[in-house]
Amino acid sequence: MIMCSNMRIILVALVLLSTSLISYAASADELQVQQAEKDWAAAVKAKDFARLEAMLTSDLIYAHSTGIIDDKTQYISKMKTGKQNYVGIDHSSTTVRMHGDSAIAHSIVRMHGTNAQGPFDDKLMMIHVWVKTKGKWMLAGHQTTRLAK
């Protein structure tokens, strides 16, 4: 009798565990946004301006950890002129939350390179707002906050 009761408990536990694992599986959109994060970082480091132009919304708000806020034209112009140069953008964690055809990606990143103030090597908390437009994920908002190293 005790053996049968223990088997029931184990069976119920396995069913609950498998159900919770299924509910935490990333959706296709969530996986696409995670890939878009990687594609953005790769395009920035490679100075692939055509790729950046295609992945940023025309009304982008790009808020740097310095407090400077750029629009799309200003952001890309700074990179083209070398006033903003990213050597590395390394994500240590990313969490994506879906909201219909929008997504918020929260990441901890290390960004290093040079800007108008000189070299930088920052550990940052980063929020990206992605919007799905004509089936494509586009970056509409960027905000970083410096963290203690």
CA angle 48, 50, 55 (to 5 degrees): 95
Q: Judge whether 116 lies within some domain.
A: yes
Phi then psi dihedrals of residue 146, to 5 deg: -70, 140
Q: Are 49 and 72 in contact (CB under 8 A)?
A: no
CATH number assigned to the domain comprising residue 142: 3.10.450.50
21 in a domain, yes or no?
no
Per the listing, tokens 């969530």 go with 30
Average pLDDT over residues 69-73: 97
Question: pTM score, two decimals?
Answer: 0.81
Model pLDDT, residue 11: 56
pLDDT on residue 116: 84
- The domain tally of the chain equals 1
Regarding predicted confidence, which is higher, 22 or 142? Answer: 142
pLDDT over 70 (residue 61): yes
* 78-95: pLDDT as tens digits: 999 988 899 999 999 999
Phi and psi at residue 113, to the nearest 5°: 165, -145
pLDDT reported for residue 41 = 97
In the prediction, which pLDDT does 20 show?
46
- The answer to whether residue 3 sits within a structural domain is no
Range of the domain at 122: 27-146
**Spatial separation of the C-alpha atoms in residues 45 and 40, rounded to whole Å:** 9
Report CA Rg, the chain.
20
Answer yes or no: is 18 within a domain.
no
